[in-house]
Amino acid sequence: MKITGNTILVTGGGSGIGRGLAEALHAQGNQVIIAGRRRSALEATAAANPGMKFLTLNIEDSASIKSFAAHVASKFPSLNVLINNAGIMRPENLLAQPDDLADAEAIVTTNLLGPIRLTAALLPLLQKQPHSAILNVTSGLAFIPIAMTPTYCATKAALHSYTQSLRYQLRDTTTEVIEIIPPYVQTDLMNGSEDPRAMPLNEYIAETMELLNTQPTPAEICVKRVHGLRFASESGKFDETFQALNEMMH
């Protein structure tokens, strides 16, 4: 994808990886719109980056997504890049779950249905542009799950599969499909912002932007730190990597 001169929507853009990507892309001369549920976080991010726009979005609500997409198309008709980044991660004890399974259902709705719904709602607008791109943020945990967060890992694995199908279906169009596959990064997701085992956010964003600037852009954006997870099966190391990861995070 071309890395400058775009109009870019980043979901979950008020914090963590979403904010990091939004700020880096904003600095490269793109019109960036961040979206999310927490207005305070969006306002703070936009205020720190003059010219950046923000819109609130309840990614769990299908009706809200449709009205949001219509608003985006009206206010930003040149939108040509969608970054599906919003996500939640919660631990689950599968031996002692509540009857309503609220956490699991919220994770599926936010992490999987959210990107699918938003992509469907905005694809007609993206297809009108001379060049466009959809970037789905998955995780190294799509390939090696952490057992303590089973539904989160399952949604990221499903989003990886969906992204592959989306890329194939759009292969003859002007819409590029890219998967961003982060490792464990220092963000507020699962309170990992101070964990020394996680990759510093600024280092992750810098290496990711370097890969996004590569031409042609790789179909998968994998920093070196995530290679062990992403390619564990291909290298015949799935079992040992799964065991080591889960012992480390236990």
Determine the pLDDT at residue 99.
84
Average pLDDT value for residue range 224-241: 98
Average pLDDT value for residue range 74-80: 98
Which one of 152, 162, 184, 204 is the catalytic residue?
Answer: 152
Instruction: Yes or no: say if 183 and 199 are a contact pair by the CB < 8 Å rule.
Output: yes
Residue 103 has which token pair? 């956490």
Determine the pLDDT at residue 19.
98
Average pLDDT value for residue range 47-53: 97
| Domains parsed from the chain with CATH numbers | 7-249 (3.40.50.720)
pLDDT at 119 over 80: yes
pLDDT at 239 over 90: yes
pLDDT band at 174 (very low <50, low <70, confident <90, very high): very high
**Can 204 be counted among the known catalytic residues?**
no
pLDDT, one tens digit per residue, over 175-221 is 999 999 999 999 988 777 789 999 999 999 999 999 999 999 999 99
- The pTM score is 0.96
Residue 162 has which token pair? 């969906």
Determine the pLDDT at residue 44.
97
Sheet holding 7-11, edge to edge: 53-56, 31-36, 7-11, 81-84, 132-137, 175-180, 220-221
CB atoms within 10 A of CB 153: 22
Average pLDDT value for residue range 75-87: 98
* Percentage of residues of the chain with pLDDT beyond 90: 94
pLDDT, one tens digit per residue, over 11-43 is 999 999 999 999 999 999 999 999 999 999 999
Mean of per-residue pLDDT scores for the chain: 96
Determine the pLDDT at residue 74.
98
